[in-house]
Structure 1
Amino acid sequence: MSPLPPLKALQAFDALGRTGSVALAAADLGVTPGAISQQLRKLEEAVEARLVEHDGRGLRLTPLGTTYHAQIRQGFAAFADAAATLREASADVIVLSCLTTVLGKWIGRRMRDWTALEATARVSLVGSDAEPDLAQGGVDMRIYYGGRRHPPHHAELFVDHIVPVCAPALIEGRHLSGPDDILRFPLLHIAWDPRFGANPGWAEWGRLIGARPPAANLTYGLSGSAIDAALAGQGFVLGQIAFIGPELETGKLVVPFDLRLPLPEPYYLAWNPDSLRKTGARAFHRWLLGEGRAQGLVSAPPSRG
């Protein structure tokens, strides 16, 4: 006798035992009555025992089949319990989706502050450029850029600004008398995904200072990659303040002239209201909004009083 009968055969047998007829078992599993009968034959062949018999109206379990079904039912109940355990284990995980660079260069760096406040809340961070459908339930919250597509529940986080930054070694021993001197160094450009619209670049910053920059030496598709290139000393980048805070604090990046340009649109937080029932979700939601407000103050140009 085979120790492991086919799973489909066991499912057909269990359905017959639960429903009492081949027709109802077929409806329960979404298959044809013929498929049920075929699987029952396979099971009897596998266990080498007679489990079902005709009673004049259809198939029913034999006494041995009834005993066997009681054991099989326990097994399927255990499967159901295991699935429920998994659902319960994942039910309170708060899933936050962000653009890749937003995750790596902004909110991901702040999560230690959150865990210090809410050590019991569990958060899963997902970096994705695809906008999730929050109504489907796989993602609870989303940090996104721009206002062309607003989910029903959303709030503005902050407006970021860009500023020319570089590694200190790039300008070491070089005297920069004015902002236009930056344009004599290699320039790193960031080409955004077209769905986010045009991002301000060196041409726009050049207009701010009344100069015409040369063409950029290198172009990157991700802000994070361009910032990493600047950290490696490859040139100046128009870095978003939100993405370079730690590097500015530690002196790994410097701002020779603090002349900032705002991004055309804000960053937003969207959420599924049903997700706020999860453990710690409301507190996490408030914390994210607070971090956004704080970042907006940091990103804004310094007052010139």
Structure 2
Amino acid sequence: MPQIPPLKALRAFDALGRAGSVALAAAELGVTPGAISQQVTRLGELLAVQLVARSGRGLVLTELGRLYHAEIRRGFAALEGAQDVLDRAREDAAIRLSCLTSVLMKWIGPRIFDWQSQHPGARLSLTGSDIEPDLIRGEADFRIYYGGRIHPAHHAVLFTDHVVPACAPDLIAGHSLRDPADVLAFPLVSIVWNRRFAPGPEWSVWAERIGASAPESALSYSLSGSAIDAAVAGRGFVLAQISFIAEELRSGRLVVPFDIRLPLSEPYYLAWTEAALAKPDARALHRWLLATGRAQGIISAG
């Protein structure tokens, strides 16, 4: 079997053949022009072939040099292609979970570390988007979505969430709230749902539930997570989804003076493809998501 020249010399010659200039080849490989010339000269000596000739102050490939370069270029292209395949396979091994933005921020994001601690070798990619990915085309492996969206045959209900009026403790400090209607005297933060979704209960619906009327909200957000953050900052009461405020309630950053809950009009779902379950740890994640959703449904319903 013929002895293969050193890879360093082959790389220098390949770069020279593609760049057409010693200086450009050196810049590409991050070495000096002298190093390129030295490696190319060494390669010619090893092969006992004149691969380059001087032209002015530079080097050009001879006819044999051009012939040899065309062949080794195919070899380097094959190596580069193999690396691309490996990189894609490594990326594809990651389980891609797509969620609605606020679901990622406030529900699954804080909880996913529990699953990761049980599966330290698993690779997981989380994406927050209100645009539904095409699971059949491989744009995601799992999708947490709201309402009756059209998804593959493989889907299951996660939970139906409820909303409850929550605020920062400082907002009501020094005030005596004796009746649920007292909540309506404070600034109210609203959430404007995307038109593609059946909206959650608004302040007017909650007020009607307690036999009162709600004033117009002075502040509204398109993202539930942002509305909750505003409430944490003391901007007012928010009708927050129970699943989204677990950490805020636990830490005391939000309080619920009156635990009067209203359900969302539709549940959250989990969708997936059969191909997704073939990935390492994907079935374990699938089971965990369903179990976490069931547990959340019980908590949200109170």
Q: TM-score range by the shorter chain?
A: 0.7 to 0.9
* C-alpha separation in 2, matches of 1:148 and 1:130: 11
Q: How many residues align?
A: 251
Shift of 1:112: 1.3
Give the 5 Å matches for 1:246-257.
246-257=247-258
Alpha-carbon displacement from aligned partner over 1:16-38 (angstroms, at most 9, x marks no partner): xxxxxxxxxxxxxxxxxxxxxxx
Q: Distance in 2 between matches of 1:180 and 1:257?
A: 10
1:183 and 2:184 aligned? yes
TM-score, L = length of structure 2: 0.79
Once the two structures are TM-superposed, the CA of residue 116 in structure 1 deviates from its matched residue by 1.2
Asked whether 1:212 is paired with 2:213, we answer: yes
The Cα of 1:47 is off from its aligned counterpart by 5.1
Q: What's the CA shift for 1:91?
A: 2.5
Answer yes or no: is 1:230 the counterpart of 2:243: no
Q: Which amino acid aligns with 1:90?
A: E
Write the deviation string for residues 48-73 of structure 1: whole angstroms up to 9, x where unpaired: 4447xxxxxxxxxxxx6654443222
Matched, 1:167 2:180: no
2:122 corresponds to: 121
1:3 matched to which residue of 2?
A: 16
Letter in 2 for 1:278: K
Alignment-mate amino acid for residue 136 of structure 2: A
Provide the C-alpha distance between the structure 2 equivalents of 1:152 and 1:131, rounded to a whole number of angstroms.
15
Measured after TM superposition, the shift of residue 80 of structure 1 is: 1.6
Give TM-score scaled by structure 1 length.
0.78
- Paired AA for residue 230 in structure 2: A
Query: What are the Cα deviations for residues 80-133 of structure 1, in whole angstroms up to 9, with x where unaligned?
Result: 211121022112100000111000100000011011111111100001111000
User: Is the Cα contact below 8 Å between 1:170 and 1:233 reproduced in 2?
Assistant: yes
Distance 1:163 1:135 in 2: 37
1:160-194: CA deviation from partner (whole Å, max 9, x where unpaired): 00000000001111111110010111111100011
Q: CA RMSD for the aligned pairs?
A: 1.9
Question: How far does residue 239 in structure 1 lie from its aligned partner after superposition?
Answer: 0.3
Name the counterpart of 1:28.
Answer: none
Counterpart CA distance in 2 for 1:186 and 1:268 is: 33
The answer as to 2:146 corresponding to 1:145 is yes
Distance 2:227 2:212 in 1: 23
In 1, are the aligned partners of 2:159 and 2:293 still within 8 Å (CA)?
A: yes
Shift of 1:136: 1.1
Q: Check if 1:192 corresponds to 2:205.
A: no
Q: C-alpha distance in 2, partners of 1:5/1:90?
A: 30
Corresponding position: 1:259 with 2:260: yes
Paired with 1:204 and 1:219, the residues of 2 have a C-alpha distance of 16
1:248-303 per-position Cα deviation (integer Å, ceiling 9, x unaligned): 112111111100000000000011210111110000111111110111011003xx
1:15 is matched with which residue? none
Contact 2:162 2:242 in 1 (8 A): yes
Q: Corresponding residue for 1:285?
A: 286
* Aligned residue in 2 for 1:29: none
Is contact 2:17–2:66 with CA below 8 Å preserved after alignment? no
Q: How big is each residue's C-alpha offset from its partner over 1:132-159, in whole Å with a ceiling of 9 and x where there is no partner?
A: 0001113111000001423321100000
Distance between the aligned counterparts of 2:69 and 2:254, measured in 1? Answer: 71
Which residue identity does 2:235 align to in structure 1?
Q
The answer to whether the aligner puts 1:273 opposite 2:286 as a matched pair is no
| Farther-moved stretch of structure 1 (78-87 vs 123-132) | 78-87
User: Are the equivalent residues in 1 in contact too, given 2:152–2:273 (CA < 8 A)?
Assistant: no
Contact 1:188–1:217 (Cα < 8 Å) also in 2: yes
Instruction: Check whether the contact 1:164–1:236 (CA below 8 A) recurs between aligned residues.
Output: yes
Question: Any runs of at least 4 consecutive aligned residues in structure 1 with deviations exceeding 4 A, and if so which?
Answer: none
C-alpha distance in structure 2 between counterparts of 1:196 and 1:276, whole Å:
28
